Amino acid sequence: MKSIDDYVLGKMNNAEKGTIFFSEDFLDFGSAKAVGKALERLFNRGQISRVARGMYASLEKHELFGEIQPTTEEIATAIAKRDKARILPTGALALNVLGLSTQVPLNAVYLTDGSARTIKVGKRTIKFKKTAPKNLSVIGPISSLVIQALKNIGKDNVTEKEIGIVLKHLKKEDPVRLEHDINLAPEWIRVIMRNALNKRNNG
């Protein structure tokens, strides 16, 4: 007869390696307490990994580097999906994603319309800051990052080189989304985004 441990492990092994699971994903197999104990046992036996408190995964193992940990973005996205919340990377994280900074921030900050909280992931922290829904009205994945990154750099500090990198990224944004998001950006950022749109329209 299969135990809760078997069912939990089976579900995790059937998913793609690195998929993040929460304790509540296994409540079909038993009570919250029983599931919690099963996850603890599997973790202690080295059969699964604990990504953060209440978050588990069956991770890919690299022969030199050991377990390949989920990225900050993967963890944040998994939490947002569970909470049915919208998130938006800010500051140093947006700069890093766009290649405007090589520094991977240890403290990643996301704006959210879900709950405000801080998650510890090893030496990293992921902070969700509650914001007004209008701040999450942007619909373009690239243009939303660009707005946050440029806000972080500041109008008086942005260089021609950085604007060049931003324009390259904005070339890949859906023009309908880009046009929508231009109206939500500060005026000086709108100028850069309109430039990208005009280049596409004339290109």
pLDDT of residue 61: 84
CATH number of the domain enclosing 45: 1.10.10
Pairing of strands 87-89, 66-67: unpaired
Question: Which tokens sit at 95?
Answer: 């700069």
pLDDT at 104: 82
Average pLDDT, the chain: 93
pTM here? 0.84
Using the predicted structure, report yes or no on whether residue 202 has a pLDDT greater than 70.
Answer: no
Instruction: Name the residue range of residue 107's domain.
Output: 72-135
| pLDDT band at residue 1 using 50, 70 and 90 as cut-offs | confident
Task: Say whether both 47 and 18 belong to one domain.
Answer: yes
One domain for residues 38 and 91 = no
Q: How far apart are CA 59 and CA 201, in angstroms?
A: 44
Find the CATH number of the domain harbouring 100.
3.30.460.10
If one compares 41 and 91, the residue with the highest pLDDT of the two is: 41
113, 135, 157 - which closes a domain: 135
As for how many domains the chain has, the answer is: 3
Q: Does residue 142 sit in the same domain as residue 196?
A: yes
Per-residue pLDDT reduced to its tens digit, 131-165: 988 889 999 999 999 999 999 999 999 999 999 99
Q: Report long-range pairs for 124-128 (Cβ below 8 Å, ≥24 apart).
A: 124/72, 126/72, 126/75, 126/76, 126/79, 128/76, 128/79, 128/85, 128/87
